């Protein structure tokens, strides 16, 4: 009988335990980054909506300046959402603040629909 025939090859129990421990350490290190993604995504969504409102206000001002029959009048931060092509999703709230109608820019605040979202600022340009 050959010496090689009776031997079994494979990983020892200690090698398998070491690999499992290393994988556990890596998972414990990476897990907090994935858990925090929901808060970051919600904050990014509010910032995206704020950017859309700023853009809508600027485009509305330009269009209404060129032709007073186009666009909507903006005298309050809440009225900027009327300049959007698609209505603002439910749950978002815009802090009411007066916007002067002589092309003055005013900083407005929008808050997201979920408790973990934060507020974001957007610019409203007033026009009658």
What is the value of pTM for the model shown? Answer: 0.71
The whole-angstrom separation of Cα 82 and Cα 42 is 23
Q: Which structure tokens are listed for 43?
A: 């904050």
Q: Using alpha carbons only, what angle is made at residue 114 by residues 109 and 117, rounded to the nearest 5 degrees?
A: 50
- Residues 31-65 have pLDDT tens digits of 877 777 788 888 899 999 999 999 999 999 999 99
pLDDT confidence tier of residue 87, bands split at 50, 70 and 90: confident
* Cα-to-chain-centroid distance, residue 51: 11
């Amino acid at each position: 009988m050959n010496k090689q025939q009776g031997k079994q090859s494979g990983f020892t129990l200690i090698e398998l335990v070491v690999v499992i421990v290393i994988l556990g350490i890596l998972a414990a290190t990476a897990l907090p980054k994935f858990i925090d993604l929901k808060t970051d995504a919600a904050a990014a969504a509010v910032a995206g909506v704020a950017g859309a409102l700023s853009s809508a206000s600027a485009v509305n001002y330009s269009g209404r300046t060129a032709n007073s029959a186009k666009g909507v009048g903006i005298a309050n931060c809440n009225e900027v959402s009327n300049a959007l092509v698609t209505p603002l999703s439910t749950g978002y709230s815009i802090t009411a603040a007066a916007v002067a109608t002589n092309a003055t820019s005013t900083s407005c605040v929008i808050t997201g629909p979920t408790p973990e979202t934060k507020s974001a600022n957007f610019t409203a340009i007033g026009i009658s």
